[in-house]
Structure 1
Amino acid sequence: MTLISVTRLRVRSIRFLPAFLWYSFKSNEQAKGAQGNLASTVRAAGSNVFWTMTVWEDEAAMRSFMRSGSHKEAMPKLQNWCDEASVVHWQSESVTLPSWKEAETAMFTSGRFSSLTHPSIAHQNHQFQ
């Protein structure tokens, strides 16, 4: 069994976009080289919304990545940069990335909302815009 991890982030202002994009690039490169990472991808979805999707050998590998390098540096900044942030994880038999449709369905039905400094009204109400 592998672990699928999906995040959805909305940057609350274009003034945070350059730094956000830099850390996103660095974190994605870090993920691609991380021990236990089987696949990694990102996408922009309009209105300053960005998604990440990774496949891990196990939860320990994902957590090791999460707590190191550029990803570790970016995580506290996201609380201020984003007005929406959510994550969903699930177990899979596959070692490949699921479709974005499957990732969206999992997020919209089972996603967990992160604590943010400046959450949108939708985020406060545990809704997606």
Structure 2
Amino acid sequence: MVFISATRARVTRPLYKLPFSLHSILSILQLNRASGKLCAKFRWRPNEFWTLIAWQDKASMLAYRNTGAHRRAMPKLTLWCDEASFVHWYQESAELPNWQAVEQRMMEQGKLVKVGHPS
């Protein structure tokens, strides 16, 4: 089984877009070296950043999440974002679903991340 992780972060205040983007790029660079990452795709929309990553297992995702650039960025989300959410699931293959399926799963099963100024 493959562990899938999807995240969505919304940054609406112009003041926070540049630091959010910088930390996102640093986190992607970290991801490119992460052990256990099978494949990933990203989606930038106005004010939104989505990630979709297939991992060998949950432990690989946690090792990435809890270290490096990603760990340094996480506490800042409460300031930068007015919405943030994630959803995890297991599936048979590492083939990533389309964004419409990810959005649906996020709506049905996603968990909200506490932010300082929710929309």
| TM-score, reference length from structure 2 | 0.96
C-alpha offsets along residues 4-53 of structure 1, whole Å, 9 cap, x if unaligned?
Answer: 1001110130111111011111111211210000012211122x011111
When the two structures are superposed, what TM-score results if normalisation uses the length of structure 1?
0.89
What one-letter code is carried by the residue in structure 2 that aligns with 1:58? D
Q: Distance in 2 between matches of 1:97 and 1:104?
A: 13
**Equivalence for 1:69:** 68
One-letter amino acid of the structure 2 residue matched with residue 86 of structure 1: S
Contact 1:3–1:59 (CA<8 Å) still a contact in 2?
yes
Percent identity for Structure 1 against Structure 2 = 42
Instruction: Map 1:24-103 onto structure 2 (within 5 A).
Output: 24-46=24-46, 48-103=47-102
1:87, distance to aligned residue in structure 2 (A):
0.3
CA distance in 2, matches of 1:29, 1:96: 21
Deviations 1:41-79 (A, max 9, x none): 211122x01111111000000000000010000000011
Q: Secondary structure of the equivalent of 1:98?
A: coil
Structure 1 runs (4+) greater than 4 angstroms displaced? none
CA distance, structure 1, for counterparts of residue 60 and residue 5 of structure 2: 11
Alignment match, 2:13: 13
Q: Which amino acid is 2:13 matched to? A: S
Give the gaps of 5 or more residues in structure 2.
none
Q: List gaps (5 residues or longer) in structure 1.
A: 121-129
The Cα shift of 1:96 comes to 2.3
The alignment partner of 1:72 has SS state of: helix
